[in-house]
Amino acid sequence: MVVRLATWNVNSLNARMERVESWLVDVAPDVVCLQETKLADGAFPALAFQALGYDSVHHGEGRWNGVAVLSRLGIDDVVCGFGPDAPDPEARLVWATCGGVRVASAYVPNGRALDHDHYRYKLDWMARLLERLKASESADSPVVVAGDFNIAPTDIDVWDPARFTDATHTSAAEREALERLVEWGMVDTFRQQHGEAALYSWWDYRAGSFHKHQGMRIDLVLATPPLARQVRFATIDRNARKGQQPSDHAPVIIDFDI
Partner DNA sequence: ATGGTGGCCCGGCCA
Give catalytic residues, as residue numbers.
107, 148
Which of 50, 136, 138, 245 touches DNA by CB under 7 A? 245
Per the CB < 8 A criterion, the answer to whether 231 and 189 are in contact is yes
Piece of 80-88, 107-115, 156-164, 182-190 that binds DNA (CB under 7 A):
107-115
CA-to-CA dists, residue 34 to 140, 184, 207, 243, angstroms: 25, 24, 26, 20
Sign of CA dihedral 250, 256, 99, 1: positive
CB of 14 to DNA, least distance (A): 4
Phi, psi for residue 64 in degrees, rounded to 5 = -125, 160
Q: Judged by CB under 7 A, does residue 192 bind DNA?
A: no
- Decide if residue 214 touches DNA (CB under 7 A): no
- Work out the number of other CB atoms within 10 angstroms of the CB of residue 152: 27
What is the smallest separation between the CB atom of 211 and DNA, expressed in angstroms? 12
Site for DNA in 156-185 (CB under 7 A): none
Q: Site for DNA (CB under 7 A): which residue of 18, 50, 64, 182?
A: 64
Residue 245 CA: distances (Å) to CA of 40, 112, 180, 248, 249: 22, 24, 36, 9, 12
**How many CA atoms are closer than 13 Å to the CA of 3, on its beta-carbon side?**
20
To DNA, the closest distance from the beta carbon of 10 in angstroms equals 9
Q: How far is the CB of 220 from DNA (least distance, A)?
A: 15
Return the range that interacts with DNA (CB under 7 A); candidates 44-52, 108-116, 156-164, 173-181.
108-116
Residue 15 within binding range of DNA, rule CB under 7 A: yes
Q: Is 11 in the site for DNA (CB under 7 A)?
A: yes
